[in-house]
Amino acid sequence: MSENENVNPILEPENYFKEYQESIDKHKKDPRVIEFDKLCYEVFEKHEPGKRLLELATERYLIPAMAARGTPTYQIDVLWAEGFKDAFRIFINALHSHQQRILAGK
Protein backbone atom coordinates (compact mmCIF):
# COMPACT_ATOMS: atom_id res chain seq x y z
CA MET A 1 0.00 0.00 0.00
CA SER A 2 1.20 3.50 -0.75
CA GLU A 3 1.14 6.31 1.76
CA ASN A 4 -1.86 8.00 0.08
CA GLU A 5 -3.98 4.85 0.43
CA ASN A 6 -3.61 5.01 4.23
CA VAL A 7 -4.96 8.57 4.45
CA ASN A 8 -8.55 8.77 5.55
CA PRO A 9 -10.15 11.81 3.84
CA ILE A 10 -12.64 12.13 6.68
CA LEU A 11 -9.91 12.41 9.31
CA GLU A 12 -7.55 14.48 7.17
CA PRO A 13 -8.08 18.18 7.98
CA GLU A 14 -9.01 20.38 5.04
CA ASN A 15 -6.28 22.85 4.10
CA TYR A 16 -8.36 25.90 3.22
CA PHE A 17 -5.29 28.01 2.51
CA LYS A 18 -3.63 25.65 0.02
CA GLU A 19 -5.03 27.35 -3.10
CA TYR A 20 -4.27 30.80 -1.69
CA GLN A 21 -0.70 29.76 -0.96
CA GLU A 22 -0.30 28.30 -4.46
CA SER A 23 -1.53 31.57 -5.95
CA ILE A 24 0.83 33.60 -3.76
CA ASP A 25 3.78 31.37 -4.68
CA LYS A 26 2.94 31.70 -8.38
CA HIS A 27 2.78 35.50 -8.21
CA LYS A 28 5.96 35.77 -6.15
CA LYS A 29 7.93 34.47 -9.11
CA ASP A 30 6.13 36.53 -11.77
CA PRO A 31 8.79 38.75 -13.41
CA ARG A 32 6.26 41.53 -14.02
CA VAL A 33 5.44 41.71 -10.31
CA ILE A 34 9.09 41.58 -9.30
CA GLU A 35 10.01 44.34 -11.76
CA PHE A 36 7.25 46.66 -10.53
CA ASP A 37 8.10 46.01 -6.87
CA LYS A 38 11.79 46.65 -7.52
CA LEU A 39 11.11 49.90 -9.37
CA CYS A 40 8.90 51.14 -6.52
CA TYR A 41 11.66 50.24 -4.08
CA GLU A 42 14.31 52.03 -6.15
CA VAL A 43 12.21 55.18 -6.57
CA PHE A 44 10.55 55.46 -3.16
CA GLU A 45 13.15 53.97 -0.82
CA LYS A 46 16.63 54.44 -2.25
CA HIS A 47 16.28 58.02 -3.48
CA GLU A 48 15.56 60.87 -1.08
CA PRO A 49 13.22 62.79 -3.45
CA GLY A 50 11.12 59.64 -3.96
CA LYS A 51 11.07 58.97 -0.23
CA ARG A 52 9.94 62.53 0.41
CA LEU A 53 7.29 62.29 -2.32
CA LEU A 54 5.77 59.23 -0.67
CA GLU A 55 5.84 60.93 2.75
CA LEU A 56 4.03 63.97 1.35
CA ALA A 57 1.50 61.83 -0.51
CA THR A 58 0.78 59.94 2.70
CA GLU A 59 0.40 63.13 4.75
CA ARG A 60 -1.66 65.03 2.19
CA TYR A 61 -3.72 62.37 0.44
CA LEU A 62 -3.75 59.04 2.27
CA ILE A 63 -4.36 60.14 5.84
CA PRO A 64 -6.91 62.96 5.51
CA ALA A 65 -10.41 62.49 4.19
CA MET A 66 -10.72 63.80 0.66
CA ALA A 67 -14.52 63.85 0.45
CA ALA A 68 -16.51 66.48 2.34
CA ARG A 69 -19.48 65.15 4.28
CA GLY A 70 -22.82 66.68 3.57
CA THR A 71 -22.16 67.51 -0.05
CA PRO A 72 -24.64 66.27 -2.63
CA THR A 73 -21.94 64.23 -4.38
CA TYR A 74 -20.44 62.72 -1.20
CA GLN A 75 -20.93 59.08 -2.25
CA ILE A 76 -19.29 59.65 -5.62
CA ASP A 77 -16.52 61.70 -4.04
CA VAL A 78 -15.75 58.90 -1.58
CA LEU A 79 -15.45 56.37 -4.40
CA TRP A 80 -13.21 58.68 -6.39
CA ALA A 81 -11.01 59.43 -3.37
CA GLU A 82 -10.56 55.74 -2.54
CA GLY A 83 -9.52 55.04 -6.12
CA PHE A 84 -7.07 57.93 -5.98
CA LYS A 85 -5.65 56.74 -2.65
CA ASP A 86 -5.40 53.17 -3.87
CA ALA A 87 -2.71 54.11 -6.38
CA PHE A 88 -0.46 55.30 -3.55
CA ARG A 89 -1.28 52.18 -1.53
CA ILE A 90 -0.20 50.02 -4.45
CA PHE A 91 3.17 51.81 -4.57
CA ILE A 92 3.64 51.41 -0.81
CA ASN A 93 2.70 47.72 -0.87
CA ALA A 94 5.06 47.07 -3.78
CA LEU A 95 7.86 48.85 -1.91
CA HIS A 96 7.24 46.70 1.20
CA SER A 97 7.00 43.56 -0.90
CA HIS A 98 10.44 44.17 -2.39
CA GLN A 99 11.87 45.00 1.05
CA GLN A 100 10.59 41.63 2.29
CA ARG A 101 12.07 39.91 -0.75
CA ILE A 102 15.45 41.50 0.08
CA LEU A 103 15.24 40.44 3.75
CA ALA A 104 14.25 36.90 2.78
CA GLY A 105 17.32 36.68 0.56
CA LYS A 106 19.70 37.47 3.41
The pLDDT value recorded for residue 106 is: 57
CA neighbor of 55 nearest in space, from 67, 45, 40 = 45
The pLDDT value recorded for residue 2 is: 53
Q: Mean pLDDT across the stretch 64-81?
A: 94
Q: Mean pLDDT across the stretch 54-63?
A: 96
Structural domain boundaries in the chain: 15-105
The pLDDT value recorded for residue 92 is: 96
The pLDDT value recorded for residue 19 is: 81
The pLDDT value recorded for residue 47 is: 95
Q: Mean pLDDT across the stretch 14-19?
A: 80
How many beta carbons lie within 10 A of that of residue 41, not counting itself?
20
Question: What pTM does this model have?
Answer: 0.69
